Amino acid sequence: MCSSVVERCPDKTEVEGPIPSTLTMEEKKVQSNMSIWKPVMVFYVKTTSWIILPVLLVILANKFFFKIQESNFMYLGLLALGFGITCSGIYKEIKEYKKTLK
């Protein structure tokens, strides 16, 4: 007669907690791919922030500080300044990234 209950062997000891294991080849491959992409993603985030932050600061400065002024020359000047800051920041990040590649 077959029983659906699994019998335990008395010589086996049970351990509480997870079973220790080593990384499989597939997990190692995934980890190595992540280590390749990490510097690229850090570079991407830094350059994107150099694009977004100066433009946002100019827009907020125009909205809150220059409500009275009717001409847009101050806004255009601040926008040009923000563009210059963006270009110099991206140039700086590219130089740093090139150093890490060598």
pTM: 0.58
- Please tell me the predicted confidence (pLDDT) of residue 83: 92
- Please tell me the predicted confidence (pLDDT) of residue 88: 94
Sequence letter at residue 10: P
42 vs 26: CA distance, rounded Å: 25
Confidence check: pLDDT of 2 > 60: no
Between 38 and 34, where is the model more confident? Answer: 38
83 vs 101: CA distance, rounded Å: 27
- Please tell me the predicted confidence (pLDDT) of residue 92: 93
- Please tell me the predicted confidence (pLDDT) of residue 55: 87
- pLDDT tens across 39-55, in order? 888 889 999 999 999 98
Instruction: Label residues 43-80 b or e (16+ Cβ within 10 Å = b).
Output: eeebbeebeeebeeebeeebeeeeeeeeeeeebeebbe
Judge contact between 78 and 62, C-beta under 8 A.
yes
Distances in Å between the Cα of 65 and the Cα atoms of 13, 22, 57, 79 are 74, 60, 11, 14
- Please tell me the predicted confidence (pLDDT) of residue 73: 80
- Please tell me the predicted confidence (pLDDT) of residue 49: 92
